[in-house]
Amino acid sequence: MKIAIKDNSEVIKLSGVNYEQEQRVQVSSNEFNRVLGGGIVRGSVVLVGGDPGIGKSTLMLQESVALAGETFPVLYVSGEESVNQTKLRAERLNLNSDHLYLLAATDLNHILSQIDKITPSLVIIDSIQTIYQPVFESSPGTIGQVRECAFALLKTAKAKNIPVFLIGHVTKSGNLAGPKVLEHMVDALLHFEGDRDHIYRILRADKNRFGSTREIGVFEMQESGLVEVANPSALFLQHRKDNISGSSVVCTLQGTRPLLAEIQALVTPSSYGVPQRNSTGIDNKRLALLLAVLEKRVGYGLTTQDVFVNVAGGARIDEPSADLGILVAIASNFNDRVVAGQTVIIGEIGLGGEIRSVPQIDKRLEEAKKLGFTKAVIPKFCLKNVDQNGSLEIAAVEKVTDALEEALS
């Protein structure tokens, strides 16, 4: 939003602040718009992080070309590639534009002077760790250099009302390289994630002053670049087999979007003194909690078993509504009993083995019906918000034992 205050140093009442709604700049990708909160806000600074080769530069180059126009010039600053290399990458992606300006530079003062000269409508910095301020003796990428360069670009963005995207490196642990204050300075922090061995990429907002942090954007990596996925639920379930034990389907809510995903579990006798507990796509501590419930409340002997859990397709699930689906997948493989192929399982699990309610159950069930599911195992406390006369068979459960009986019958 654009604040109209005569003197920023004066104290003013909240009710006395006059503002006008800022028009957002719509990018070409609906998935990208969703994560940004509805488009790019002018004067905002957005930090995009992710593993090397995940597609950060590809995404930003695609959007730069799509946005660049006679009334909307875009400046793409590359500190890692020459202009020839950037052009070669653009040709590989079949991208071209007369209004996208390329600059291969790492000197902050030179970059700022070119911004003054060109007056672009959008600036891309690839990457912030390669930019340096000559007045400091430290090397590019050090904490001081990253902090000062980011702050100078932030001031330029606010003063000239130009949106700036900063591409950032990550460390071995997956955190953004540089000072933590960098994440506090920017208006939005986007994280590009996915396994390089998978074709799917997920863009999510870890921080967003102009929108929700629960939204995600799903992309597919193809030879022509990143292509948005309009129906990620169908994408994540397309390789699922119905006759294999240890597989269940859950429905999580990512912002306003319900997302169906397959949970795979494998339980095998342990060959070591301490059984393994490995998970991909869910929190390992959450897995340990669910195994403890399965042992204590249901009586499963898992202390001598290795347990592996995976969210198929490279997705990551943080919402507790997937608890019941994870537990059912483990029980399915442990007992070698198959979950019915057209059953979706939704519910959070408490430490007492009770099934807790989840929000917006109607949206989740509607998504399941669209994809052809015929049965849903849901918490009993959600039953009042469900249309029981629909085509979906509803099994309302209160305890873990009831859920296992419904899912594995």
Domain locations along the chain: 2-229, 235-407
pLDDT tens readout for residues 245-290: 999 999 998 877 899 999 999 999 998 888 999 999 999 999 999 9
pLDDT band for 8, please (50, 70, 90 cuts).
Answer: low
The predicted model scores a pTM of 0.79
- Mean pLDDT (whole number) for 82-89: 95
Task: Report the 10 Å Cβ neighbour count for 3.
Answer: 10
pLDDT tens readout for residues 12-36: 898 888 877 777 999 999 999 999 9
pLDDT at 156 over 80: yes
Q: Whole-angstrom Cα distance, residue 196 to residue 182?
A: 26
Residue 271: what pLDDT? 86
Please say whether the beta carbons of 208 and 201 come within 8 A. Answer: no
pLDDT tens readout for residues 87-145: 999 999 999 999 999 999 999 999 999 999 999 999 999 999 999 999 998 999 999 99
Q: Whole-angstrom Cα distance, residue 322 to residue 251?
A: 7
Q: Whole-angstrom Cα distance, residue 379 to residue 383?
A: 7
Which tops the pLDDT comparison, 177 or 72?
Answer: 72
Residue 196: what pLDDT? 63
Residue 404: what pLDDT? 95
Q: Whole-angstrom Cα distance, residue 227 to residue 233?
A: 16
Residue 95: what pLDDT? 95
- 319-337: string of b/e by CB count within 10 Å (b at 16+)? bbbbbbbbbbbbbbbbeee
Q: Give the architecture (CATH level 2) of 235-407.
A: 2-Layer Sandwich (3.30)
Any alpha helices (H) in 161-231, and if so which ranges? 181-185
Lowest mean pLDDT among 143-147, 186-190, 233-237: 233-237
Residue 2: what pLDDT? 45
CA 396, distance to chain mean position in Å, is 31
Residue 80: what pLDDT? 92
Q: Which CATH superfamily is domain 2-229 in?
A: P-loop containing nucleotide triphosphate hydrolases (3.40.50.300)
| Percent of the chain residues topping a pLDDT of 70 | 97
Q: Which helix or strand (DSSP H or E) is residue 258 part of?
A: strand 257-269
By DSSP bridging, strand 375-379 and strand 393-397 are: parallel
Task: Report the 10 Å Cβ neighbour count for 37.
Answer: 19
pLDDT at 4 over 60: no
pLDDT band for 390, please (50, 70, 90 cuts).
Answer: confident
Query: Three-state secondary structure along 289-304?
Result: HHHHHHHHHHCCCCCC
pLDDT tens readout for residues 319-330: 999 999 999 999
Residue 1: what pLDDT? 42
- Mean pLDDT (whole number) for 206-213: 91
Residue 197: what pLDDT? 63
Interacting residues of 140 by C-beta distance below 8 A, sequence separation 6+: 79, 106, 129, 130, 131, 132
| Percent of the chain residues topping a pLDDT of 90 | 71
